[in-house]
Structure 1
Amino acid sequence: MKKLFLLLASLLSLYVFSDRLDFSDLVKKQSNSVVNIQATRKVYSNRSSMGSFPNDIFREFGFPLPEFEEPRRQPREATSSGSGFLIDNDGFLITNFHVVQDADEVIVRFLDRREFTAEIIGTDELSDIALLKISANSSSPVLIGNSDNVEQGDGVIAIGSPYNYDFSATFGIISSTNRGISSRAGIGDYVPYFQTDAAVNRGNSGGPLFNLDGEVIGINSQIYSRSGGNEGLAFAIPINVALEVVAQLKANGKVSRGYLGVQGQEVSSDLAEALGMDKPIGALVSFVLEGEAAEKAGIRPGDVIVEIDRKEIVYFKDLQHTIGRTQPGSSVRAKIFRDGKYRNINVRVGELPVDEVEQIEEESPKKPTYPLGIRLGELDKEQTNIEIPEDGVRVLQVYFNSPAYGQLFRGDVITQIKHKGKTFKISKISDFSAALESFSKGDKIAVFGVRNSSNIIVSLTVE
């Protein structure tokens, strides 16, 4: 009898599981909600007037440019592809910022071959979110889920246009939650990403990640890959985070984030023991910026922040995620560990300062281009409370997948470059441009600078 019961239980569970793996109805219901996105923009490259041969071909083989030829910046059209989805009946769509970045035209294409020119309502680089709008007579928005309820091991389905194969569906699970990834702008970590093993490739960016009830709980944004294709490591923006961004873009055209004005690190087991803590948990404050919210509230270097409004802070990234989603000007209660005791401190949250990066006019041949993948600005000490060197140039933007990506960050100050025993002092942007003219493609250079009052040295490869 016992064996018969176990057999029946096994058959029942197999039937239920098999039935659960049939996602055809779920996918069919999204056929009018998920879209392919084509974004076009003009890019410029130096070319000679001799046909279509770029100047680099002459240099590659050691031939000088003809004296009568003046290099001209010739425009060409570049296209980026991605995915997106409708979020309401008014024609609003969500996709990734990097899909439509600097786009002159955005075309939205549905599975039934309808095409619309989309208006970019607003973008937010830190969360990699872009809000679009189309004039559609009829729309079928997705069902929105609650990403705060997502747990490790939950089944998920990604739908999008990998490599322009429209409306492709893949299945996987949530491998982990609350993953930290530094933003493309190099400002910090403000999105608690979902990690999934659902097959996500180029072109899936901006597409929805569904739970098994057919509700969107995330937006596919990034992959980790050494080959450029799917390797089972993809990252999605939680839909609750995305909708908070969307609400601000609709209301204000920009996004404001909470800010404490602290720098810090994780609490190791050795540090926890040394400090007298029961377990290694929390964000250890190593530096407090003068005049910012943390200093005004009385937070000091050496404090360990373990809770914000009763939400546990396990890692330093948790502090960034939690405060970043807090409305500037609101008050929170921070539980800290100091001098062997826990105490509560009320903090009025500040606003994350994001420098307005001046756009470089592509048409101007006099503007320098940087083979390291960074955009620079002259040093202005009045714009920061952090002690900075007398000379140098400030990093304003670090481009994704460039040599400097992950090595330099916005706000870093570059003071000198060294290469094979030769030192180049950097006092202004023209010094930086002149120094780069001394290097060749593939050269490894040492970049010296200052980050948050600490000296840094990074090695970069010139492209």
Structure 2
Amino acid sequence: MMSTLDWKLLRSVALAGVFTGLSGLTALVPVSAAAQSAVVRGLPDFTELVELAGPSVVNIRTTEKASARSGAGAMDEEMAEFFKRFGVPIPNAPRQQRPQQDEQPRGVGSGFILTADGVVMTNAHVVEGADEVIVTLADKREFKARIVGADKRTDVAVVKIEASGLPAVKVGDVSRLKVGEWVMAIGSPFGLENTVTAGIVSAKQRDTGDYLPFIQTDVAINPGNSGGPLINMRGEVVGINSQIYSRSGGFMGISFAIPMDEAMRVSEQLRASGRVTRGRIGVQIGPVTKDVAESLGLGKAQGALVTGVESGSPAEKAGVEAGDIIIRFEGKAIEKVADLPRLVGNTKPGSKSSLTVFRRGQSRDLAVTIAEIEPDKVAVKTTDREERAKASSAGQQVGLTVTELPEAQKKELKLKGGVLVSAAVDGAARAGLREGDIILAIANTEVSGVKDFDAILGKVDKSKTLSVLYRRGEWAQYALIRPAPAR
């Protein structure tokens, strides 16, 4: 039996080495100093980066004039913003204790110096609604800032302070950023100025909005970090920390940054004119699923499915139709639906551009003149159901009963053809079709009326999935009617 002394000796030796072998204690191998040194050398050292980039990071405080709303109402609104974004709402003292027009603390965020003459970049939500913006430099100097411009769609804002000789950041090349690369953030989480956190790039091109492919990281980001820089190991700013995924309002391991190339594009317009202009072509789009792509002969799920075309829009004038799949814009491939609004949005209004659409098995090139984006229109259509012609019976094989589309309805909806669904059962119902839908094409072939519909159905292979392009309300989309399972 092992003595107490022997056991203590063995335990002390084991703590200084590692056990090896598959059964029992076969050897004690001490960890060499060289191995320990190699591990230490493999970890990043952020001290030089902090010294390099830290002086360029600023704290941003905002104030707003007190309003007649109640304190409770103000807190509700601020807390909603807290969870939505990052601006830290500071509870206000009871309104009746202060004059109505007093300046009230509103929030705190971060930013960074873009140019030596005092141009500072931050998030739009940090300065939104502010009556006064105060920028505090790393050396504790404070300046009142003027809001040059803010863009809500990208959440980028530019403010200006009257100073010179300031330490400006170096802007990095986002295209060189790699997933798994170390990055660092500096900001003012919960008002704690010049806080440094670090992590890695978790993903690139993360879609969380129409106009931005975000950089996802696991860098600890919290309320107050908004607008602060995301910095690579070369000391360059590659993003603006903007959002987090959270169920509590605090950090949960997932944060998002605006890529610096996108932010710079926006900031240049804000500095030039105080606003951002974007292109539009006037289409409603949706994703292309694998099943839809295969049924149409597209090959792979790519592009943006046109579900609707606005009346009088550039797209309508160019000949774009509902059911088209836009696969290229200005020669650039549309891999996913979010690519199209970014490319079109970044195109100068008035420019003449090219679209490649996939329509009924063929690719077509269309010329389109880009218009300037405007607020979304809410179009409301009413359908007067007139007396219909005799219903088709051929469609019942796939669960559809259709009738002729009244001429008045065709004219109102600006349709060349189509048939009206009066009943959908079995496979058609499972595909999502319902009464009132208008079928525009079936099996990749346009439908002009009931006779045409019957003829097309008579030729298709009922044992294969049938693609149906239909319109519901303002927008068109695809449904896939699958053959009934064998019994």
Give the alignment's TM-score, normalised by structure 2. Answer: 0.63
Q: Distance in 1 between matches of 2:122 and 2:473?
A: 33
Distance 1:219 1:286, change over 3 A: same
- 378, 386, 390: which one aligns with 2:379: 386
2:336 paired residue number: 315
Q: C-alpha offsets along residues 371-390 of structure 1, whole Å, 9 cap, x if unaligned?
A: xxxxxxxxxxxxx5834679
User: Partner of 2:106 in structure 1?
Assistant: 79
Match of 1:256 among 277, 280, 283: 277
Q: What are the ranges of 5 or more consecutive residues in structure 2 without an aligned counterpart?
A: 1-33, 76-97, 384-471, 476-487
Once the two structures are superposed, what CA deviation does each residue of 1:384-403 show, in whole Å capped at 9, x if it has no partner?
5834679xxxxxxxxxxxxx
State the alpha-carbon separation in 1 of the partners of residues 272 and 106 from structure 2: 30
Which structure has the highest helix share of the two?
2
**For 1:313-462, what aligned pairs fall within 5 Å after superposition?**
313-354=334-375, 384=377, 386-387=379-380, 453=474
Q: CA deviation at 1:44?
A: 2.2
Q: Give the CA deviation at 1:14.
A: 8.1
Match of 1:279 in 2: 300
Verify the 8 A CA contact 1:290 1:385 in the aligned structure 2.
no
> Cα RMSD over matched residues?
3.0
Segments of 5+ residues of structure 1 without an aligned counterpart are 1-10, 57-71, 183-188, 356-383, 391-450, 455-463
The equivalences for 1:130-141 within 5 A come to 130-141=157-168
Q: What does residue 133 of structure 2 align with?
A: 106
Give the match for residue 265 of structure 1: 286
**Equivalent residue, structure 2, for 1:199:** 220
Secondary structure (helix, strand or coil) at the match of 1:294 reads: helix
1:389–1:89 CA distance, 2 compared to 1 (3 A): farther
CA contact (8 A) 1:157 1:198 kept: yes
The answer to whether the aligner puts 1:242 opposite 2:263 as a matched pair is yes
Q: What CA deviation, in whole Å up to 9, does each residue of 1:292-348 have, x standing for no partner?
A: 221122111111112223322122111112211122122332222111122322322
Mapped partners of 1:42, 1:208: distance in 2: 29
Q: Secondary structure, in 3 states, of the residue corresponding to 1:201?
A: coil
Q: Which moved more, 1:342-351 or 1:135-144?
A: 342-351
CA contact (8 A) 1:46 1:74 kept: no
- Give the structure 1 partner of residue 49 of structure 2: 26
Aligned counterpart, 2:16:
none
- CA positional deviation for 1:125: 1.2
C-alpha distance in 1, partners of 2:340/2:208? 14
User: What is the identity percentage for the equivalent residue pairs of Structure 1 and Structure 2?
Assistant: 44
Is 1:126–2:153 an aligned residue pair? Answer: yes
CA distance in 1, matches of 2:343, 2:328: 10
Distance in 2 between the 1:262 and 1:316 partners? 12
The answer to whether the 8 Å contact 1:108/1:117 transfers is yes
Q: Does 1:37 align with 2:60?
A: yes
SS for the counterpart of 1:290 is coil
Q: Looking at CA atoms only, which structure, 1 or 2, has the larger radius of gyration? A: 2
Q: What CA distance in whole angstroms lies between the structure 2 residues aligned with 1:14 and 1:100?
A: 47
In structure 2, the partner of 1:161 is: 188
The one of 277, 297, 318 equivalent to 1:297 is: 318
Structure 1 residues 142-165: Cα deviation after superposition (integer angstroms, max 9, x where no partner)? 000122333333322111111111
Equivalent position amino acid for 1:203 in 2: G
Provide the rounded CA distance (Å) in 2 between the counterparts of 1:86 and 1:16. Answer: 36
For this pair of structures, how many residues does the alignment match?
Answer: 331
Partner SS for 2:268: helix
Q: Residues 125 and 389 (structure 1 numbering): CA distance in 2 closer, same or farther, change over 3 Å?
A: farther
Determine helix, strand or coil for the equivalent of 1:337: strand
Change (3 A) 1:350 1:28: same
CA distance in 2, matches of 1:292, 1:327: 16
Which residue of structure 1 lines up, in the alignment, with residue 173 of structure 2?
Answer: 146
Deviation at 1:23, TM superposition (A): 1.3
The DSSP-based 3-state class of the residue aligned with 2:165 is coil
Contact 1:175 1:195 in 2 (8 A): yes
Letter of the aligned partner of 1:233 in structure 2?
I
Letter of the 1:37 counterpart: I
What is the aligned partner in structure 2 of residue 409 from structure 1? none
Q: Distance in 2 between matches of 1:73 and 1:117?
A: 22
CA–CA separation in structure 2 for the residues paired with 1:308 and 1:40: 44
